[in-house]
Structure 1
Amino acid sequence: MYQMQHVDSFEAWKSLVSSAFVPLHSEPVRAGSFAGSIAGSQFGSVGVMQVEATAHAVRRTENLLAAGDPPHFKLNLQLSGHGMLLQDGRETLLRPGELAIYDTQRPYTLMFEEDFKTLVLMFPQHQLGLPVAQVREMTATAIGTEHPLGRAVTPFLRQLAGLLPQLRDPVGHRLAANAIDLLGTLLAAELHDHDDLATDGQHRQLLAIQAYINEHLADPELCPGSIAVSHFVSLRSLHKVFAESGHTVAEWIRTRRLEQCRRDLGDPLQRHIPVGAVGSRWGFPDAAHFSRVFRAAYGISPSAFRAQV
């Protein structure tokens, strides 16, 4: 449900911004009056919020990380005004029309020295479908400003911001998921371009195999053996390449399949599809086996997960 909250004091803002996102320490950057508003909706696991406020700074400090919040990424699309994002020893100027991503699991600072408006998407890290360690290499950097995909994603997000007051589930849920898909594609393209400049051939091979797995998740015959054959490598070599990811090949396949199943089960437009059919769609043809591995991964059955979304 769309909600808009407006405050006229900085004390009220400190409470509002922490409750809307994650616990944050807010501080003014100049004396004088303050006004701010947060408007948006929660679509499934994706929060889509438009933030408009007077100049100030927010910090996600080490002691606030101890609150135990689940791991999320936040995407910032600057709509007006300028700001600065700092994380992981990097900093980037936030200009209107530019994107930047940051990680709620590590300290960061957002500083705005003038009035501003920004669109913020907050979503679970797993939803991107990309290795978290690789995405973290791109925090606090301008994303896609020179990339053709970046020029396509930004207008979509601007339109999403304009539609927020009218969006309702289930369409809003689907659009929010589409936005994360587009972001994942953009980040994957940026990572691929960066990887082309790298000299580590084994790392490039890992990314190529992970991309192959993502394209063939629906094939129930997908397994380490079929992947090794498709890439003309031995099973031993395949497992060696995957060692740097921190997962076995089978773990990676299972995790990616379960992420797709969880996404479809949470989609209101797919509630008419039987749970077993969702599992089968993503390579789990045995409904009982699908239910067991889903419960093992998420602590809840597929049916119960769908019911609570």
Structure 2
Amino acid sequence: MEDRFGRFWRGWEEQLGKELPAPDFTPGSAGDFQMSARAVTVHDSVIADVRGESLYGSYTSASHQSDEQVVLHMVRHNSWRFARPREGDRTVPAGHFMVQRLGPPTFEEARQTSATVLIVPASSLTHLVRDRLIAGPASSAEMLLLRGHLDLVSQRAHDLSPAGALTARNATIELVKGVLRQRADSTEPHLGPALAQAAKDLADNRLTDPDLSPSTLARELNVSLRTLQRAFAAVDESIAGYIRRSRLEQARLELLAPSGRPSVSELAAQWQFADSSHFIRAFTRRYGLTPAEFARAAAGDRSARGG
């Protein structure tokens, strides 16, 4: 087991350096450790995709870590069990999260589990976390904002300037505060990209829904429509424009099908355009060809390639 944790620690250090050490692990009575992580740093914070066959033991702050940290687990598959003497046991299933302050030893058990793990400085969060284990659903409006932000930052972390990384880290901490307070602080201007990303994620899952609108997205995210509109303005796009563009792209992909391709009227109905004429006009403005012309061009390309 020590060799396995040693390999994990060395891999962590190769990705993040010695400035952000992995928490210390002590095996339990049935100690086991088969975990891996892909992680990025954002100023003095860590976002990690953690996957593992098995974990059984206790975590605490790294012995050479001087600053306190708060850790948030968002479980994606199976479950992760946490236990502290005063807090009792908490089993966090997929689709839920756990927030804790590193320091007090926490027993953890996970089998065939994957999670997104966020590690941030505790200084501005200690009064909200204290020594509690705080769990909740990852589907809350506050968590949707945080998840969208972390996805965005993870993708761009290596391209951020030092100033950009600091801004992203500060936004992350504000969003964690929103989770802990069960509300998002929509007055923070640097949270705009995270809010827009969360709305896009929601919209992408509901593109065929006739009730999808800017207002419904704002309600689900627990912010005003004006706040959501400002967030999209910060990324140079309108909410309605994003929905329309995403629906057109899905229709375009269906037109590429070599067989069983829907008709124009079927596509218009499926992707919530008022009628075929409206769909054709929108598609032509977007792609420079009518749907029929696009489908014929795609078929010609397949024939030329011998497909």
Q: Which of the pair is proportionally richer in strand? A: 2
Tell which has more relative contact order, 1 or 2 (C-alpha 8 A, sep 6+). Answer: 1
Which structure is larger by alpha-carbon Rg, 1 or 2?
2
The bucket for the TM-score relative to the shorter chain is: 0.3 to 0.5
TM-score normalised by length of structure 1:
0.46
TM-score (norm 2): 0.47
